[in-house]
Amino acid sequence: MTIKVAVIGCGNISQFHFSGLEKCGAEIKWVCDINREAAMPWADKFEARYSADYRDIIADPAVDAVFVTLLSRLHKEICFAAIDAGKAVICEKTLAESAEDAWEIVQYAEAKKTIFYTSYMKRFIPAVEKAKALLPELGTIISTHIRAYQCWGDLWSETPTEGFFYTPPGGMSLVRKNYGGGILVCGGSHILDLTLFLLGRPHRLYATLHEPEGSDYDLQAAALLETDNGIVHYEALAHPLTKIGFLRDGWDEKVEINGTNGRLEVYSSNWTDVETKASLLVHYDNRNGNSTEYRFAAESPFDRAVEFFCQQIEQGEQGSQSRLTGYEVDELIEHIKLSSKQKQAVEIQWKT
Ligand SMILES: NC(=O)c1ccc[n+]([C@@H]2O[C@H](COP(=O)([O-])OP(=O)(O)OC[C@H]3O[C@@H](n4cnc5c(N)ncnc54)[C@H](O)[C@@H]3O)[C@@H](O)[C@H]2O)c1
């Protein structure tokens, strides 16, 4: 692969993108982080240049694509600058802090015909890809249950007085500051993306959010979404249960799609352990009574996503993954918040 890339933001999530870039053979020209210590190990490893200022990177004509892997509140400014400079952009999720901002970003990318992806990597889990391919086998889809249950410790019985989940009086918790909110934006955004990927855009939803007293983030987001492919029962939950889930490791993420001919169940493994823990797909076919288990090898969906993005950029084509993905998820997040606040169902106002 000949494309030349830069990675802006060398924190936690960047390791997965670096891994994908290394495996697909892209040339890493620059790494950027305001924290030099976070960036230098990557600069050394890939013999890349370092800058604390993303504008240095964007100004380099040798860079084809930038990976924007820092906090969501910085995405808009950097995505706009990169699009302006004619770079292809791969941006971490969630795309922005509001649907309006996300819309402006994707509209700008569309107007400039920039190749632009929001990296929702769960679409690239082999079990999810296979489930998508098997959807026609289900007949008419009538009901889906989708959930992201993540073990965050017991934030239900006690209000934290320090650490990542502590909300100081008059201030902001780190989970909100860094990620824009609680379980809805963290784990919940991924399963909204999977809802969009597998079932299409919902047109109406009713939702409720639980935000504990004294905290500025949610621990539970539950919703009923109406789609052209039936009702979706959706829930993102931060819970204290350490040994639940199909691997009994506290990670309990599942998609179950029921149709007139059968059922698909996807059990996905914790994104931090994707190199060692594989996801599982079960297909029950009501026409012959058979249940088939698809056990895939453990493989990072980040690697597969990065390879796809780089190949598309090399070919100069946006390909099967729409520029709008990040906007669509952010629009659903906004409608979930709205419905919860209004305590009533809301029609989803897609910008288009
Ligand atoms: N796909 C997933 O499952 C997943 C999981 C976790 C996080 N994320 C997303 O990844 C993104 C980054 O999260 P993270 O956990 O890596 O955060 P992080 O805090 O670990 O890393 C962010 C990095 O950005 C750097 N930074 C901050 N401001 C900067 C600036 N102006 N210029 C250059 N560098 C700057 C920080 O020094 C830090 O090293 C977020 O959008 C988050 O939502 C995605």
Give the Å distance between the CA of 343 and the centre of ligand 1: 33
One-letter-per-residue 3-state SS of the chain: CCCEEEEECCCCCHHHHHHHHHHHCCEEEEEECCCHHHHHHHHHHHCCEEECCHHHHHCCCCCCEEEECCCHHHHHHHHHHHHHCCCEEEEECCCCCCHHHHHHHHHHHHHCCCCEEEECHHHHCHHHHHHHHHHHHHCCEEEEEEEEEEECCCCCCCCCCCCCCCCCCCCCCHHHHHHCCCHHHHHHHHHHHHHHHHHCCCCEEEEEEECCCCCCCCCEEEEEEEECCEEEEEEEEEECCCCCCCCCCCCEEEEEEEECCEEEEEEECCHHHCCCCCCEEEEEECCCCEEEEEECCCCCHHHHHHHHHHHHHHHCCCCCCCCCHHHHHHHHHHHHHHHHHHCCCEECCCCC
Of all protein residues, the one whose alpha carbon is nearest to atom 4 of ligand 1 is: 13
What pLDDT sits at residue 1? Answer: 65
* Residue 88 shares a structural domain with residue 129: no
| Best mutation site among 71, 118, 128 for ligand 1 pocket (most ligand atoms within 8 Å of CB) | 71
Position 50 in a domain: yes
Q: Could you tell me which of 109, 73, 68 has the C-alpha nearest to residue 91?
A: 68
Q: Which atom of ligand 1 is nearest to the CA of 72?
A: 41
Say yes or no: 69 and 183 in one domain.
Answer: no
Mean pLDDT to the nearest integer, 324-331: 98
Instruction: Tell me: do 158 and 107 sit in the same domain.
Output: no
Identify the residue whose C-alpha is closest to ligand 1 atom 15: 12
Paired residues of 50 in beta bridges = 31
Where residue 146 sits, what CATH number does that domain have?
3.30.360.10
Residue 23 forms part of a structural domain:
yes
**Is 140 part of any domain?**
yes
Q: Domain containing 35 — which CATH number? A: 3.40.50.720
Q: Is the CB of 124 under 6 A from ligand 1?
A: no
Asked, for residue 314, whether it belongs to a domain, the answer is yes
Lookup: tokens for 309: 């993005």
The position carrying tokens 């100069």 is: 316
Over 90: is that where the pLDDT of 274 sits?
A: no
106 C-alpha to ligand 1 centroid (Å): 20
Q: Are residues 22 and 104 in the same domain?
A: yes
Q: Give the contacts of 170 (CB within 8 A, at least 6 positions apart).
A: none
- Is 189 found in the same domain as 211? yes
* 268 within ligand 1 shell (Cβ under 6 A): no
Atom index in ligand 1 nearest the CA of residue 39 equals 39
- Whether residues 203 and 296 share a domain: the answer is yes
**Does some domain include residue 326?**
no
Q: Which of 15, 92, 184, 274 to mutate to test the pocket of ligand 1 (most atoms within 8 A of CB)?
A: 92
The answer to pTM > 0.95 is yes
Query: Is 146 found in the same domain as 113?
Result: no
Distance 12 CA to ligand 1 centre (A): 6
- Work out how many domains the chain is built from and give that number: 2
| Residues 173 and 207 both lie in one domain | yes
Residue 316 counted as domain residue: yes
60/271 Cα distance (integer angstroms):
33
User: Both 127 and 228 in a single domain?
Assistant: yes
Q: Which domain holds residue 276?
A: 123-301+331-347
Asked whether residue 219 is domain-assigned, the answer is: yes
Classify burial at 112, counting beta carbons within 10 Å of its beta carbon; exposed 0-12, middle 13-18, buried 19 or more: exposed
Quick one: pLDDT at residue 201? 98
Checking if the pLDDT of 331 tops 70, the result is yes
Q: Whose CA is nearest to atom 30 of ligand 1?
A: 34
Residue (of 152, 157, 188) closest to 173 by Cα position: 152
pLDDT in tens, 97-144: 999 999 999 999 999 999 999 999 999 999 999 999 999 999 999 999
* Contact 321 CB / ligand 1 (< 6 Å): no
Ligand 1 atom 12 nearest Cα? 70
Query: Could you tell me if 155 and 232 lie in one domain?
Result: yes
Query: What is the C-alpha radius of gyration for the chain, rounded to an integer number of angstroms?
Result: 20
Provide the pLDDT for residue 272.
87
Cβ of 51 closer than 6 Å to ligand 1, yes or no, is no
Q: Are 275 and 234 in the same domain?
A: yes
Residues 149 and 112 reside in one and the same domain:
no
200-211 tens-digit pLDDT? 999 999 999 999
Instruction: Identify any residues that bridge with 291 across adjacent strands, giving them in sequence order.
Output: 284
Ligand 1 in contact with 76 (CB < 6 A)?
A: no
Spacing, Cα 75 to ligand 1 middle (Å): 10
Which of 70, 79, 173, 268 most suits a substitution to test ligand 1, by most atoms within 8 Å of the C-beta?
Answer: 70
Q: What is the pLDDT of residue 158?
A: 87
pLDDT, tens digit (0-9, with 9 covering 90-100), for 164-188: 999 999 999 999 999 999 999 999 9
In a domain, 352, yes or no: no
